[in-house]
Amino acid sequence: MALEKADFTGTRATMLATLHGRALHSRTANPVLRDPYAEEAVRRIDHDFGSTGLRRNDPLAIAVRGRVFDDLTAARLAADPEVTVLHLGCGLDSRVQRLDPPPSVEWYDVDFPEVIELRNRIYPERAHHHTIGSSVTAPDLLRAFPADRPALVVAEGLTMYLRPAEGVALLRRITERFPRGHLIFDVQSPLATRWAHLFNGAVRAAGARLTWGVRGGRELERAVPGLVLDQEHTFFDVPELDRLHPFYRALVRGMGRVPALRDLALVLTMHFG
């Protein structure tokens, strides 16, 4: 089978690092997140994945983040299976394959057109699954989704690459378009977005810019009428940290006790309507 090209730079290239991280971690014994689709995608793409800038503990961290998102999404779909899922900034993440939602769920994977073109070549079609090649900030994007069903918006590793005004405008459009909905997405603090350009190997290797730092869910409640924070999840208390080398485990647990460090990266669950 001919290999696919993936000549991306900047933000678009960051999804090659997360894909690679999930594939690497999936191959380990007893992985936090098993992702055979990522393993296969990496085999199918003609790319020097060694150049994605991942460091020693990054595959585990990426898998933990993916697992947290998978678990939150699965729980939401179990509670509310008649929804439209907007999986924004999906990259080559195989979440829809991993979760295999019931036919009552209409699932839309959205990313830039070049990313979606590659995605469509890599992953087979499936019923009740759609892909849309567009910037998530395009003002008319939401017209592509039926407005009569509740929405479940899932966005992993996306918001930090949007400009603040674009991100807030997107959230406002979502709350205005759908009768009700839930959102599961991660944010990075302003400090984290600055540090990423110095310390995040994947961001540096891609040449990506992080432009939106968010201090937490309350900030977004104030910016977006009707949006309500359900929970802020940190990565510092997940049991999977026990898999780290004792030195890193102690370091991470210590960081989790310092509020400014604990809030560097948060997964927010929010709702409206």
Question: Where along the sequence are the contacts to ligand SAM (CB under 6 A)?
Answer: 11-12, 14-15, 18-19, 89-91, 93, 111-112, 115, 135-137, 156-158, 161-162
CB closer to ligand SAM, 10 vs 102: 10
Nearer to ligand SAM, 180 or 240 (CB): 240
Q: In this structure, are residues 190 and 215 in contact, taking their beta carbons and an 8 Å threshold?
A: yes
Angle at 109 between CA 58 and CA 114, to 5 degrees: 80
The least distance separating ligand SAM from the CB of residue 257, rounded to whole angstroms, comes to 27
Instruction: Tell me whether residue 42 or residue 162 sits nearer to ligand SAM (CB atom).
Output: 162
| Chain residue at closest Cβ approach to ligand SAM | 91
Question: C-beta of 164: minimal distance to ligand SAM in Å?
Answer: 13
Smallest distance, ligand SAM to C-beta of residue 40, A? 15
Nearer to ligand SAM, 11 or 84 (CB): 11
Cβ 89 to ligand SAM shortest distance, Å: 3
> How many other CB atoms sit within 10 Å of the CB of residue 38?
28
100: left (phi over 0), alpha (psi -120 to 50) or beta: left
Burial 89-113, CB ≥16 within 10 A → b, else e: bbbbbbbbebbebeeebbbbbbbbe
Helix (H) or strand (E) holding 11: helix 11-26
Nearest to 188 by CA among 166, 172, 212, 208: 212
CB of 259 to ligand SAM, least distance (A): 25
**What is the residue type of 236?**
F
- Rank residues 35 and 263 by Cβ distance to ligand SAM and give the closer one: 35
